[in-house]
């Protein structure tokens, strides 16, 4: 069994890694908000209580339909002249990005506190 401080450092690092992937995925979604036919990507997490606290379960595509716009001159228009735009909602993505950043910051603070406790323990042992 690992010591509690190492386990805390690992759990916080796993959390930061997961939120980092979530932020990269949100950034990709925001970058493609004007790309016709683009489907929003979603990151799914799974929690464990043994080895890892957080694990990325999968990155999947959002099944929601994109908005249809009449533009017969567009190269991606269908037979009826409609173009399917992306299904990315900027407000949802920005809200998700804020939430992911807050979770990342919370994990970073937990990592710092565990590191400080480990450093304090080492300084006590040196005496």
Question: Cβ atoms within 10 A of the Cβ of 40, count?
Answer: 23
Q: Tokens standing for 99?
A: 């939430």
d(CA 2, CA 5): 8
Q: Tokens standing for 117?
A: 């406790």
Query: What residues in the chain have per-residue pLDDT under 70?
Result: 1-2, 47-55
**DSSP, res 76:** T
The pLDDT of residue 54: 67
The pLDDT of residue 52: 57
Contact 36, 83 (CB under 8 A): yes
Say how many CA atoms lie within 13 Å of 35 toward its Cβ.
11
Contact 92, 50 (CB under 8 A): no
The pLDDT of residue 39: 94
The pLDDT of residue 1: 45
């Amino acid at each position: 069994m690992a010591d509690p401080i190492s386990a805390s450092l690992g759990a916080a690092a796993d959390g930061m890694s997961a939120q980092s992937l979530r932020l990269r995925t949100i950034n990709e979604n925001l970058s493609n908000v004007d790309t016709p036919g683009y489907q929003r990507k979603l990151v799914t997490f799974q929690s464990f209580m043994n080895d890892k606290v957080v694990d990325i379960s999968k990155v999947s595509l959002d099944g929601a339909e994109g908005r249809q716009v009449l533009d017969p001159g567009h190269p991606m228009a269908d037979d009826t002249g409609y173009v399917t735009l992306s299904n990315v909602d900027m407000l949802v993505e920005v809200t998700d990005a804020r939430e992911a950043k807050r979770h990342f910051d919370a994990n970073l603070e937990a990592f710092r506190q565990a590191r400080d406790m480990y450093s304090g323990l080492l300084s006590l042992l040196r005496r």
